[in-house]
Amino acid sequence: MGAGLLAGKVVVVSGVGPGLGRGLAVRCAKAGADVVLAARNEKRLDEVAGEVEKLGQRAVTVPTDITDAAACERLAATALESCGRVDGLVNNAFATPPLKDLTTVDIDAVRAGFETNVLAALRLTRLFVPALEACGGSVVMVNSAVLRHSRRTFGAYKMAKAALLAMAQNLSTELGPRGVRVNTIAPGYIWADNLKWYFDHLAKKRGVTAQQVYDENAATTDLRRLPEPDEVADAVVFMLSPLARAITGQCLDVNSGEWHH
C-alpha cells in the first residue's frame, strides 16, 4: 500500500473517456487507489488501465453502458468481487445534450440527455450504496460551470446538470446519516482534446488562430489559463479523501476563478 491520499482505497470511475475520465483514473491511482474503470469503449478502458497499472495500482475494466440497468448491476458486482470493497464512486460519464435553444430543441433529445447525465448516475449510486456504507465511502458527481450561467444553446445541458446537482444534495441528506458523503465538482472548460478540437473549429470559422481563441477564454479567468484534466481530477481526489471527511452536500467549482461561487 502506498502513502497517498487514497492509499488502500478502491475508486470506481464511470465514463473513462480521453479527457477528465482518464485523468480521474490516473490521479486516483497516483493517490494510491485501485481503480475500476467503466465506459463503453473497451479499447480506451484497456489503455487507461495500462496507465493505472504502470503506477503500481490495480485496474479492473468493466465495459458498461450506464443507461443499461443490467450492465450497471454487473459493474457493481464485478467491482466488489474483484476488489472486495468500494470507497469511492465518481459519476463522470455524460452525453452532450443538443446545443440548441430551449424554444426549439427536440424534447426527446433533452429527455435522452437526462437518462445518461442524471438517472444513470442515480442508478449507479444506488447500486454502490451498500459497499460505500460498509467502508464510510463517498460519491462525487462531475457537474459543470454551466450551473453558473444561462447562455443561449446551453439550456438542455444546464437542465441536466442542475438536476444532477439537486440529486447530489438530496442524496447527501439521505446518505449522510449512513456515513456516506456525496459531493459535486463543477469544472469550467477543461483543456483536453475535445476542447482543443472545438477551439480549432472556432478559430477556423472566425479566421483567427486557435491560440487566440484560447487566450480570449483564458482572459475571463482569474488565473488566465484553463485547468487541465489532472488539475480537475485532483479536486475529486480531495473530495474522496479523508481530508474532506466533514464535507458533504457541497459543490466545488474548479475553473481557474472564472465564476466565483
Ligand X SMILES: NC(=O)c1ccc[n+]([C@@H]2O[C@H](COP(=O)([O-])OP(=O)(O)OC[C@H]3O[C@@H](n4cnc5c(N)ncnc54)[C@H](OP(=O)(O)O)[C@@H]3O)[C@@H](O)[C@H]2O)c1
Type of residue numbered 147: L
For the bound state, the minimum distance from the C-beta of residue 177 to ligand X, rounded and expressed in Å, comes to 28
Quote the crossing angle between the two packed helices 120-134 and 69-83, to the nearest 10°.
Answer: 20
Type of residue numbered 165: L
Residues numbered 109 to 168 that lie near ligand X (CB under 6 A) are 116, 142, 144-145
How far separated are the first and last CA of the chain, in Å rounded?
37
For the bound state, the minimum distance from the C-beta of residue 79 to ligand X, rounded and expressed in Å, comes to 14
Residues numbered 90 to 109 that lie near ligand X (CB under 6 A) are 92-95
| Interatomic CA distance for residues 5 and 28, integer angstroms | 9
Neighbours of 223 (CB within 10 A): 11
∠ CA 104-107-111, rounded to 5°: 140
248 near ligand X, rule: CB under 6 A: no
Neighbours of 74 (CB within 10 A): 16
Window 29-68: contact mask with ligand X (x via CB under 6 A): ----------xxx--x-------------------xxxx-
For the bound state, the minimum distance from the C-beta of residue 145 to ligand X, rounded and expressed in Å, comes to 6
Which of 4/187 has CB closer to ligand X? 187
Here the cell at position 107 is 424534447
Residue whose C-beta lies closest to ligand X? 17
For the bound state, the minimum distance from the C-beta of residue 178 to ligand X, rounded and expressed in Å, comes to 25
Residue that is written with C-alpha cell 477556423 in the block: 204
Q: What does the binding site for ligand X look like in residue numbers (CB under 6 A)?
A: 15, 17-21, 39-41, 44, 64-67, 92-95, 116, 142, 144-145, 187, 189-190, 192, 194-195
